A and B are shown apart, each in its own frame.
Chain A
Amino acid sequence: MKRTKGRVTMLCVSLAGVLALTACGGQAGEGQNSQTGSSESAKTKTIYIYQNKIEIDKALKKTAEAYTALHPDIQFSIESVSDNFSTGLKTKLASGELPDVFTVNGNQVLKLWQSQLEDLTDQPWTKDMIPLAKEGITGDDGKVYGLPVSVEGYGYVYNKKLFQQAGISKVPVTLTELKQDVESLKSAGIQPLVGAYMDWYQAGNFLVNMGIARQKDPLAFIKGLYDGTATFVGNEIFKEVADFIQYDFANGKNGLSTSFNNQTTQLVNGEIAMTLGGNWLQPTIDNGNASLETGLMPLPVNDNPEENDKLYAGVSGYWAINKDSDVKEEVKDFFNWLVTTPEGQIHMTKDMQIIPGFSSFSADNEAIGDLGADLSRYLKEGKVYGSYNSYYPDGADQAFGEAVQRFVAGQVDKDGFLQELQNEWDRLTE
């Protein structure tokens, strides 16, 4: 009896200790916060930015320095992560260190984070957002929750020199033209295509999106998928896209063991004529082989030139503000400066080399390179399909990518592939 009593006491003491420890931890944390808020002449505030566009990391830091020079009381702490960004963000949330500013993709991801985000509807720049950019970050309540960072688009990235060598003078805009060009590339001894099918990422995001974006009303189609009135199975547009995927895979080389790195290396080294990609590849091309001339061209799935002479574009991410942040007013000032003053705009277009999601200023053609210029041209002419990945249920991109892998590996036929897309959608929307 005595022994148990002793044990109980010990347990109680230990528990009390745990509580004391956590209490201490809490106090220490608070102390730290107030310190960063009040120390250094009681004025300096630090804005903590956590974002997933690793390629603008340097430029963003430079921009932040320029802003600090104008506003000495504002400091920045910028962290850029591309792999496992969302895992990192969740970890930060769990440990109570949610950044002041972080990247949020639209729609489904917005829904996920909406309860943590500051409403930005009253900001002066929201009226300048292009529709493509605005629809993704508008919640069901009609409020705007983020600042569009960059418009990105994809198609085939092609090598202009290899096209010339094969005697191709203009980019194909129909499937028949594409097939002819592939044959002439082959007879010139050039590897026409390569696809990175080893990673599910491109297949799940870009290839499957083609089928959705080409629907007459993509948003209605997605809504139909959610409420069960639409289906992938037997959809004519998806059948065409499936044929296209198979063609792309069959004319590539070792697709299922080609990773993104592999694919990029082959493109940059000028070993392949065409590969799926977008304007985000420009910095890599500039760094790897500046003399390489590339362009962005459509992905034709049938012989109607009007339907096929289009690229796919969307806003890749938005910067949102943590609504519990101590510095949210300062962040709003920074955002304003960034997208409404000429100086801030130049930082965005020249340094970060992005295509803005705003109608009030446009991209710098020199800075965005060949790929960005092509995308920008298609955007201006209105020849773009949207990107709808952010409307999918969580995890659908990976599940779709794996379905594409199974399809190109010959594990399932075309109908089986569409059935599988449907099954995965149903499983993930449960």
Chain B
Amino acid sequence: MKKKKKYNMLWGNLLFLGPSTLVFLAVVVIPFAISIIYSFSNWNGISNEIKFVGLNNFNNIFSGKAKFLDAFWFTLRITAVSVLLINLLGILLAVALTARLPLRNPFRAAFYLPQTMGGLILGFIWQFIFIAGFPAIGDKLNLGFFTQQWLGTEKTAFAALVIVNVWQNAGYVMVIMIAALSGISSELIESAKVDGSRPLNTFLRIKLPLCVPYITVSLFWTISSALKMFETNVSLTKGGPYGSTTSMALNIYNDAFANNKYGLATAEALVFFVIILAITSVQLYMSKRKESQIL
């Protein structure tokens, strides 16, 4: 009797877990394993000859020969700046749009809208704005700020990417934070008011700490998506000028498909994976600790 039950459970498990396990194996585990094998080779992505070169690819990556470190440094900088701005702006928007404002809902929709567009299209639209739109405004109003070559210099191209990133993603954080803020019990806020707490004080001392779990989610999402930045990068700057805005993902793409260094690219992808894993784990660990301290 007992044995039969066990038998049934096996089939039940297979029925429910089998298909997804299969898919997971086929599209995640197996390709991942294959790419680890390729990362030790000098395969060009096409030919039938594959030569194994040991740790050569990794050597090239860490000795700075492969440009990966430049891309890593750029990605790190842009992640730091845009994550900070996205979350600050997202929280500010959420605070503003949970207040009793006229046209509150249309505003929420408007700020969320960029999130629903694809990064590639956004990039192309903004490329037009930076190349043609801004100079036109600058000429009319005689403002040098707008007429500069936005995508032509290292610093402004960096700023342009940050602007587009923040504009695209702040809405998402806003939605999460609106959910957080409206989930706070009004009794708490009211009792704070009765105790004489000012609005700013209430926000910093009561609302924000209660939102920490949501901030953890937002941070995790913004950090990992900023580290993986690719489409806006490709369509807005193509990594230019002179390769100064090449993100890690774009660099891997270039090595795999333009430079025909497939082996090197898979090695870079592995390093990329480890970097993202490390950064997001540290962030999650720290935020969770913060959460347990506060709540």
Query: A10 — which chain B residues lie within 8 A by C-beta?
Result: 10, 13-14, 17-18, 21
CB contact under 8 A between A14 and B242, given known A86-B257, A112-B46: no
Distance (whole angstroms) from the CB of A295 to the closest CB of chain B: 28
Query: A86 — which chain B residues lie within 8 A by C-beta?
Result: 257-258
Distance (whole angstroms) from the CB of B9 to the closest CB of chain A: 8
Asked if A430 is an interface residue, CB under 8 A from chain B, the answer is yes
Contact B21 A198 (CB under 8 A): no
Contact B240 A402 (CB under 8 A): yes
**Nearest neighbor of A256 in chain B, beta-carbon distance:** B152
Query: B150 — which chain A residues lie within 8 A by C-beta?
Result: 257
Contact B21 A14 (CB under 8 A): yes
Contact B257 A87 (CB under 8 A): yes
Cα–Cα distance between A402 and B245 once the two chains are bound (Å): 11
Query: A405 — which chain B residues lie within 8 A by C-beta?
Result: 240-242
**Nearest neighbor of A15 in chain B, beta-carbon distance:** B25
Distance (whole angstroms) from the CB of B42 to the closest CB of chain A: 10
Contact B261 A394 (CB under 8 A): yes
Interface residues on B, range: 35 or more
Cα–Cα distance between A113 and B151 once the two chains are bound (Å): 36
Query: B114 — which chain A residues lie within 8 A by C-beta?
Result: none
Asked if A411 is an interface residue, CB under 8 A from chain B, the answer is yes
Contact B131 A259 (CB under 8 A): yes
Contact B149 A256 (CB under 8 A): yes
Distance (whole angstroms) from the CB of B17 to the closest CB of chain A: 8
Asked if B188 is an interface residue, CB under 8 A from chain A, the answer is no
Asked if B201 is an interface residue, CB under 8 A from chain A, the answer is no
Contact A394 B258 (CB under 8 A): yes
Contact A13 B14 (CB under 8 A): yes
Asked if A207 is an interface residue, CB under 8 A from chain B, the answer is no
Contact B46 A116 (CB under 8 A): yes
Asked if B115 is an interface residue, CB under 8 A from chain A, the answer is no
Asked if B281 is an interface residue, CB under 8 A from chain A, the answer is no
Over the window 13-42 of chain A, the binary record of Cβ atoms lying under 8 Å from chain B Cβ atoms (1 yes, 0 no) is 111011001000000000000000000000
Asked if B254 is an interface residue, CB under 8 A from chain A, the answer is yes
CB contact under 8 A between A200 and B149, given known A14-B18, A394-B260, A398-B254: no
Query: A93 — which chain B residues lie within 8 A by C-beta?
Result: 46
Contact A256 B18 (CB under 8 A): no
Distance (whole angstroms) from the CB of A126 to the closest CB of chain B: 25
CB contact under 8 A between A18 and B151, given known A115-B47, A262-B131: no
Over the window 253-265 of chain A, the binary record of Cβ atoms lying under 8 Å from chain B Cβ atoms (1 yes, 0 no) is 0111111001000
Cross-chain pairs A/B with CB under 8 angstroms, 10 sampled: A9-B10, A10-B17, A10-B18, A18-B22, A200-B238, A262-B132, A395-B260, A405-B241, A406-B241, A409-B242
Question: Which A residues contact B (CB, under 8 angstroms)?
Answer: 2, 6, 9-10, 13-15, 17-18, 21, 84, 86-87, 90, 93, 112-113, 115-116, 198-200, 254-259, 262, 394-395, 398, 402-403, 405-406, 409, 411, 427-428, 430
